[in-house]
């Protein structure tokens, strides 16, 4: 990820995710780290999904574009 902060996911959502999976306490640095990782993955998925839609001759990104892009990330 670039030096400037590009996180758009709220840190409260990161805490809620981790608590939903059983975490009792979460440090601020853990919330920020999860947000960084998810934002980086989301950026890559979005870029690939946009490429997929353009390749198909569409301007609209579909759920299939997102799913295929996410599979490509793995």
More confident residue, 7 or 69: 69
Cβ contact 25:18 at 8 Å: no
The residue with greater pLDDT, 67 or 73, is 67
Assigned domain for 4 exists? no
Q: Convert the pLDDT of each residue in 23-43 to its tens digit.
A: 999 999 999 999 999 999 999
pLDDT score recorded for residue 1: 44
Segments of 1-74 assigned E as strands: none
d(CA 23, CA 64): 32
CB 48 within 8 A of CB 73: yes
- Tens of pLDDT along 4-22? 557 799 999 999 999 999 9
Question: Is residue 5 domain-resident?
Answer: no
The verdict on residue 3 lying in a domain is no
CATH of the domain at 31: 1.10.20.10
Domain that holds residue 27: 11-73
Residue 2 covered by a domain = no
Question: Would residue 6 count as lying in a domain?
Answer: no
Distance in angstroms (rounded) separating the CA atoms of residues 23 and 14: 11
Domain count, the chain: 1
pTM for the whole thing?
0.81
Q: Which of 62, 70, 3, 14 is nearest to 42 (CA)?
A: 70
């Amino acid at each position: 990820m670039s030096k400037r902060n590009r996180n758009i996911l709220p840190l409260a959502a990161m805490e809620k995710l981790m608590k939903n999976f059983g975490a009792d306490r979460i440090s601020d640095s853990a919330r920020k780290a999860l947000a960084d990782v998810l934002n980086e993955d989301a950026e890559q998925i979005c870029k690939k999904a946009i490429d997929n839609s353009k390749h198909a001759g569409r301007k609209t990104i579909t759920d299939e574009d997102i799913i295929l892009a996410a599979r490509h990330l793995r």
